[in-house]
Structure 1
Amino acid sequence: MPFSSRSPRSSSASFPAPSPGSVVAALRAAGCVFAEEEAELLLAAAGTPAELTALVDRRVAGEPLELVLGWAEFRGLRIAVEPGVFVPRRRTEFLVEQALAHAPEAAVVVDLCCGSGALGAALADALGDVEVHAADIDPAAVRCARRNLADRGGHVHTGDLFEALPGHLRGRIDVLAANVPYVPTGEVPLLPAEARDHEPPVALDGGPDGLDVLRRVVAGAPRWLAPGGVLLVETSDRQASEALGVFARGGLAARLARSEEGYAHVVIGVRER
């Protein structure tokens, strides 16, 4: 049910502002678990009462909060997101932590299957003076990533995995972060509606067992990593054992890192010198 029966208007004249309490009530009735926190963000984002009503209506209708706001928080950064682009998950911050632990002085970083470019932005923010590249097959994701990496000197490329990258990166990449899609095809319809209905299938569907894209990334990674360079890929607990085997068969020294708190699983593979 819409938050207001009145259509959003460009002017707030004679349009009463919804109270914070009514915003919270509308969000809670729609099933938002963190209604108070979401209400605070929506109230801060709206410039007029009409805009607030429009934002709340979108959220009540099931649109992800991050898309309603136009940004997602990731490692303390505001990452711009837009409709049709994968929203970065907080659990993926663990992948960034692992990358920094393994390569604290990395000079060349690539965010493959970049989506919004959150990984590249977070790594560039932490590493400082670093050459950062990002790539995605989806033009909407590329457009969004360019917004997020512009002030960090990032280079964003359009194309299918390594085909998108400039040749001069071959053998030079210190950190290759690839948040590949890893949901098995048959399980995509079972995802929460916020993901299933608002994010592109190409960012979710990892093939019959969820590991098709991971296999392709691992197959190409040794030719692009610098000696000692590291590939990091997020996966699920159920897929971790097979993913480790893929890394090993691909010639990478691999191990699994787990975050029980964040329910995150990252396979880490190193190109041995």
Structure 2
Amino acid sequence: MDAGDEVLSAAPAGEGNMNRTLRLATRTRSIVLKQSVPFVAKYPAIPAPQARDRVEAAFYREVAGCPELARAMPACLGHVAEHHLLAFEDLGTAADFTSAYRDGEVAGLYALGAWLTLLHARTSADPVFENADMRALNHAHIFEIPFVADNGLDLEGITPGLGALQRLVSEDESMMHRARELGAAYLGARTGALLHGDFYPGSWLRHADGPKVIDPEFAFVGPPEFDAGVLLAHLVLTGHAPRLPESYVPPPRFDTAMANGFAGIEILRRLLGVAQLPLDADIHAKGRWVDQAVHLVSG
């Protein structure tokens, strides 16, 4: 803070999943503070790597070299590593895109595809982007937990019949073999493109200047098919056709089958795993999504 400035108010800044966030208003400006804690803020019983703030700070430094990427993100105003604390410009009351699961509205999709194209044209030698601990956490929640029968989730309580669907999927040996292959590709990658790592509607904000991308704490260098697959999965879950936006131009040697596989796994983990979405869908709709996802994974 500048000399003579003072805090006027402090309040939670949205409902974060991973981190604690605070909107701080002073006499001269408003900023958002984001602090990583050694657990998932929304699910305190789930441990999480606290040093994820370092990955996010490094991502902002990396994209600062590309104005087109940086403009579509809030400005990072500072990072205090010892307190796992980041400060960002306040984008105001910008809401995320999760309402798209209800109304299918993904305004700005062209811009998001173009942004991902630019990101995947970059890589980084910074060892922070190995991000092994966050990848291990994500690997468990994407490729393992959704397919374990006794995983502690009350799927029947979420949607009657969902538990039976989960058992059918986990007993499909061909599908599960491919899921393990994709999980190994995700976890073992050491080279490739710079990835956002969690490119879904909860990481996009609706803003007057166009969509803004946030929360790159899962960023790593690896297969661009992963980001593309996650995007594709959430287009399906918002009622869109299973194809990437025309504005996304994949890098050379892009493996469409791999991207489809990652998309299918992402759909399944959002239906059968811990990270549930605000989906207004009955068991029949979820069953159709499960069938589509298995087809995407198995090819």
TM-score range relative to shorter protein: under 0.3
Q: TM-score under structure 2 normalisation?
A: 0.25
More strand per residue: 1
Instruction: Determine which structure has greater relative contact order: mean sequence separation of CA pairs < 8 Å that are 6+ residues apart, divided by chain length.
Output: 2
Query: Larger Rg: 1 or 2?
Result: 1
